Amino acid sequence: MKKLLALLLALSMVFAAFACTGSPQPAADAPAAGNTETQPGSTEAEQPSADAGELTIDSLARLIMVTGGDSGTYYAFGGVIANVLGSTVENLEITAVTSGASAANCRSLNNGEADLAIMQNDVLGYAVTGTETMAEDGAMPKLRAIASMYPEAVQLVALASSGINTVEDLKGKRVCVGDQGSGSETNAKQVLEAYGLSYDDFEVQYLSFSEASTAMQNGTVDAAFATSALPNSAIQELSKLKDIVVVPIDGEGADKLIEKYPFYAKTIIPADTYGVAEAGTVAMLATLVCTEDLDEAVVYQITKNLFEQKAALSAGHARGNDLDVTRAMQGVTVEFHPGALRYFREQGIID
């Protein structure tokens, strides 16, 4: 009888322990497997670590990308990027819209009116520091780079009849430096400074390059600066009507320029661009930009597919051929977004 009572007591203790413990249940607010989206009430420690594997976008992200004028490269290539990435990356929609280009795009990002933007890397640097052409706007420290995509060459074109073959030959000539206050004018000033020249050395004219092209055709301008992707359609038109030269911006002057303004990079204007001799020059870099507020997984997937969908992007626009992940950080003087840095580490671009 004592043995039976002892056995019953032992069984009752087992049943009591089982009732208290119960079967394991998932936490009510735990994310589903594979979901990296931050849940309400979660902490940073509860999120996947930076080395937890490829990031995915878990809920639909609708983004606005500001580009440039509707006849320019920014808008055309931006539309291709939006279409290709939107059809490739799950839970991502990008709408490319026209804008006033680099400076206006900085403001749109900073004001929260856009999520992505294409702009020159020098303007990006000015915006973050609140200097040069962006001084009146004040610093915009939350802007972050994603990747530099293609060069925008500083092109100095002169009439062959002008006798201008070097930057120094601009002395005493009639030179268009771009619209007053434009990116092209800023580039022109910096190039001239590197070669020891200033506006005091020649007759300055402020015209867009299409206007300058007309003036050169009419013989009222000898040379003009333009910063754009290659080829520049206005220079192409001019080259069919007039004998021109592309003046080199290279050698010691280019070295001095890059030393002082590290957002410049050396490039080449090939002979077949305008049917004249090849010339070395310097270039800005068209850069894809966001703010620190954009989700890391979203930026990671944008960066990854920007380079891994190069064939599709190239089929849509010639600038896609310029994409090269090994040069994606070239010329950029501001912080990169963590999502972009994650991809660059995976590719061995940085440690």
Position 26 pLDDT exceeds 80: no
65/46: higher pLDDT: 65
What pLDDT is attached to residue 330?
Answer: 87
What pLDDT is attached to residue 287?
Answer: 96
Q: pLDDT tens for residues 222-236?
A: 999 999 889 988 899
CA atoms within 13 A on the CB side of 10: 6
Position 62 pLDDT exceeds 90: yes
CA-based nearest residue to 169, from 85, 259, 248, 101: 248
Cis bond upstream, residue 231 (ω within 30): yes
Residue-wise DSSP of 47-108: SPPTTSS-----S-EEEEEE---TTSHHHHHHHHHHHHHHHHSTTEEEEEE--S-HHHHHHH
Q: What is the mean pLDDT of the chain?
A: 86
Q: pLDDT tens for residues 159-189?
A: 999 999 999 999 999 999 988 877 788 899 9
Mean pLDDT of 122-129: 94
Q: For residue 34, report the phi and psi dihedrals to the nearest 5 degrees.
A: 85, -10
CA-based nearest residue to 121, from 217, 269, 227: 227
Numbers of helices and strands, H then E, in the chain:
12, 10
Q: pLDDT tens for residues 134-152?
A: 999 999 999 999 999 999 9
Place of tokens 């005493």: 172
Residue 267 in 3-state DSSP? strand
Q: pLDDT tens for residues 34-58?
A: 333 332 222 233 333 344 568 999 9
What pLDDT is attached to residue 37?
Answer: 36
Mean pLDDT of 291-314: 98
Q: pLDDT tens for residues 266-284?
A: 999 999 999 999 999 999 9
What pLDDT is attached to residue 306?
Answer: 98
Position 264 pLDDT exceeds 50: yes
CA-based nearest residue to 132, from 81, 170, 183: 183
Position 237 pLDDT exceeds 70: yes
pTM over 0.95: no
Sorting pLDDT into bands at 50, 70 and 90, what band is 253? very high
How many Å apart are CA 178 and CA 234, to the nearest integer? 13
Tell me, what amino acid is at 111? N
Tell me, what amino acid is at 128? V
Place of tokens 């026209």: 98
Q: Locate 84 and state its tokens.
A: 């290709």
CA distance readout (Å), 247 to 175, 228, 349: 13, 15, 34
**Helix axis angle, 296-308 to 73-88, nearest 10°:** 110
Mean pLDDT of 226-248: 93
Q: pLDDT tens for residues 202-215?
A: 999 998 888 999 99
